[in-house]
Amino acid sequence: MSVDAHPRSARKAQTLSIGHLRGLLRDPLKEFEEMGREADGRIVRANLGPFRPYLITHPDHLQHVLRDNVDNYRREGMMWKPLSRLLGDVTVTDTGWLVKKRVYQDLLSAPSIAQFAGEMIATISEAVDDLGERADPERPVDAYAEMTRIVYRAIIRVLIGDRISTSKIDELGQLMVTATTSSFRPRMLMPFVPFSVPLPGDRTFNRAVRAVDDLILPIVREARRDGAGGRDVVSLLLEARDDDGQGIDDRAVRDGVVGLFVAATDTTVAVLTFLWGLLDLHPEVRARLLDEMDRVVGDGPPTFEHVADLTYTKMVLQEALRLYSVGWITPRIARTDDVIDGVRVKAGTTLVVSPYLTHRLPAVWPQPHVFDPERFAAGRSRHRFAFMAFGGGPHQCSGRVFFFIEAPLILATLLSRYRPVLRSPHPVEPQAHLTLKPRGRVKIALEPVRR
Ligand code: HEM
């Protein structure tokens, strides 16, 4: 399949039946997967009543939308609209976005991470010490809640420095989970419903957003008053200038800080939680991962230098992200009419781009439902837009390098002290919110490592 931008006669996309709407409201991810199966890599149009988005899953088509003709596709509508109430303007062509993006790229580059890696390791170690107080093999803990605590502390401490206390970080973690789960799903599936019409979960969402403001805005104002100057995200955003030398106001700094936290935290928490389910189902992968940890890190503590040698760990994380692409949907809106692989796409329509579906195309990933980290072994080649967990093109994830340093460090710290054993009565399954999250509680028992 190849993309021809100028075919002689563009055709219409095949339309999927309206019957999917009821299923989407009941169990969005399951129904969505069914739609992806029907589409099988072709461009199709979903009939969801007044909302009729295109489904774009084939790597060639993704390359066209996310890279080759990227200026024609805005990050707007669908999930971006409900998200804008938490993050402000997330449109990728917005000048404010460009200012923030430069700050993120600078802060999250490998040399920058190397500077704060020591602090990240110390913070993770402290968070795992805290977990130790609750670690009783007979009393399993809630994996999502524990991963949230560790990840939030690690990320926020290094990104915002000592501008916030540990208890406030834990509070922020809870608020973000509330904000990204409360009214998000109905708002995303019905983007045509104006905010003035209340939907279930709206009040909880609004309360959480106000509480986030009350935590972050004073930090921004204080930093501006005191004169910023550090390497934390608040200072960098306060000092950032656009091409005309203009800075951004307190509200935009707040949006930039919260935007970074949302992008960085829930994604990492979710994949680390799904991992315990996958390792439970695949003892051979678990054994190899533990063996690598023992060989490279031993009884710890892990260091920044260890990360480069944790190659199997990285493959396991990549494969976990292929199966559970926690950033499962990244829709776009066409600015002008376009033709993708012979199919006419009208200006103003939504394109549902979904790594979750691309990663389940048998033609791209053979036996897509099988968990096999070997897919990511060195030397294996694939289409540049086949592995889409971090997006693609100029708007892809700015935190990819950060993730592959932070997540192995968290795993290494945890596994040097404990062997987590899954104790959930049901399999670990994903559920669609802003990011994928596990359905129900995932319980793990922490058995101390005996050396
Ligand atoms: C499992 C881990 C992660 C996954 C799966 C993930 C996924 C993604 C995806 C799919 C996008 C692109 C959205 C789009 O195309 O519109 C994105 C954007 C972004 N991510 Fe990540 N991410 C992860 C971790 C992180 C971390 C740890 C950070 C920061 C420390 C981060 C920071 C960002 C930022 C700042 C953007 C916005 C880039 C832009 O606006 O152009 N992410 N992420």
The structural domains of the chain, ordered by start, are: 14-448 (1.10.630.10)
* pLDDT above 70 as % of the chain: 94
Q: Would you say how long the chain is, in residues?
A: 451
State the amino acid at position 385 in one-letter form: F
Cα(242) to ligand 1 centroid in Å equals 22
| Residue in this structure with the two tokens 């086949």, named with its chain if needed | 386
What is the pLDDT, as a whole number, of residue 25?
75
Distance of alpha carbon 10 from alpha carbon 3, whole angstroms: 12
Q: Per mean pLDDT, which range of 90-94, 166-170, 261-265, 424-428 is the poorest?
A: 90-94
Distance of alpha carbon 165 from alpha carbon 155, whole angstroms: 13
CB–CB of 397/73 below 8 Å? no
Mean pLDDT of 90-115: 83
DSSP type of residue 54: E
Nearest alpha carbon, ligand 1 atom 20: 397
CA nearest 432: which of 322, 323, 329? 329
Q: Which two tokens stand for residue 225?
A: 């008053």
Identify the sign of the CA torsion 59, 60, 64, 65. negative
Distance of alpha carbon 430 from alpha carbon 197, whole angstroms: 29
- pLDDT tens digit string along 181-226? 777 667 777 777 778 888 888 889 899 999 999 999 999 999 999 8
- With H, G, I as helix, E, B as strand and everything else as coil, classify residue 160: helix
Q: Per mean pLDDT, which range of 105-114, 176-185, 301-310, 362-371 is the poorest?
A: 176-185
Q: Prior bond to 430 cis, omega within 30?
A: no
- pLDDT tens digit string along 390-439? 999 988 999 999 999 999 999 999 999 999 999 987 889 999 888 899 99
pTM above 0.95, yes or no: no
For residue 427, what are the contacts with CB-CB under 8 A and spacing of at least 6? 277, 281
In this structure, the residues whose C-beta lies within 6 A of any atom of ligand 1 are 75, 101, 104, 108, 260, 263-264, 267-268, 271, 321, 326-327, 330, 389-391, 395-399, 402-403
Distance of alpha carbon 96 from alpha carbon 90, whole angstroms: 9
For a mutational test of ligand 1's pocket, the pick from 390, 402, 406, 434, i.e. the residue with the most ligand atoms closer than 8 A to its C-beta, is 390
- With H, G, I as helix, E, B as strand and everything else as coil, classify residue 69: coil
Distance of alpha carbon 112 from alpha carbon 439, whole angstroms: 36
Mean pLDDT of 60-87: 86
Cα(408) to ligand 1 centroid in Å equals 17
Cα(355) to ligand 1 centroid in Å equals 13
Q: Which two tokens stand for residue 229?
A: 């100057």
Cα torsion at 439, 153, 177, 253 (round to 10°)?
A: -140
Is pLDDT of 147 > 80? yes
Nearest ligand 1 atom to alpha carbon 104: 35
Is pLDDT of 278 > 70? yes
For a mutational test of ligand 1's pocket, the pick from 267, 405, 411, i.e. the residue with the most ligand atoms closer than 8 A to its C-beta, is 267
Nearest ligand 1 atom to alpha carbon 271: 1
- Strand pairing of 430-432 and 54-56? unpaired
Cβ neighbours of 132 (radius 10 Å): 13
Cα(78) to ligand 1 centroid in Å equals 18
CB–CB of 433/83 below 8 Å? no
Q: Which two tokens stand for residue 161?
A: 């420095």
Question: Number of C-alpha atoms within 13 angstroms, CB side, residue 182?
Answer: 22
CA nearest 85: which of 202, 189, 250? 202
CA nearest 52: which of 77, 27, 30, 28? 77
Query: Could you give the C-alpha distances from 128 to 45, 93, 136, 160, in angstroms and in order?
Result: 47, 40, 13, 20
CB–CB of 439/317 below 8 Å? no
Cα(209) to ligand 1 centroid in Å equals 21
Is pLDDT of 37 > 90? yes
What is the pLDDT, as a whole number, of residue 4?
46
- pLDDT tens digit string along 349-398? 999 999 999 999 999 999 999 999 999 999 999 999 999 999 999 889 99
- With H, G, I as helix, E, B as strand and everything else as coil, classify residue 211: helix
Give the residue, 197 or 253, on which the prediction is more confident. 253
Is pLDDT of 257 > 70? yes
Cα(16) to ligand 1 centroid in Å equals 30
What is the pLDDT, as a whole number, of residue 190?
72
Cα(330) to ligand 1 centroid in Å equals 10
Q: Give the pLDDT band of residue 94 (cuts 50, 70, 90).
A: low
* pLDDT above 90 as % of the chain: 62
Nearest ligand 1 atom to alpha carbon 394: 41
Distance of alpha carbon 96 from alpha carbon 42, whole angstroms: 35
Q: What are phi and psi of 82, to 5 degrees?
A: -60, -30
Quote the mean pLDDT of the chain: 89
Strand partners, 141: 444
Q: Which two tokens stand for residue 234?
A: 């608040």
For residue 97, what are the contacts with CB-CB under 8 A and spacing of at least 6? 89, 90, 91
Contacts 24+ apart (CB under 8 A), 67-72: 67/385, 67/392, 67/393, 67/394, 68/3, 69/5, 69/338, 70/393, 70/394, 70/395, 71/335, 72/334, 72/335, 72/336, 72/338
What is the pLDDT, as a whole number, of residue 228?
67
The stretches of 48-181 forming alpha helices (DSSP H) are 59-63, 80-87, 95-107, 110-132, 143-160, 166-181
Cα(282) to ligand 1 centroid in Å equals 28
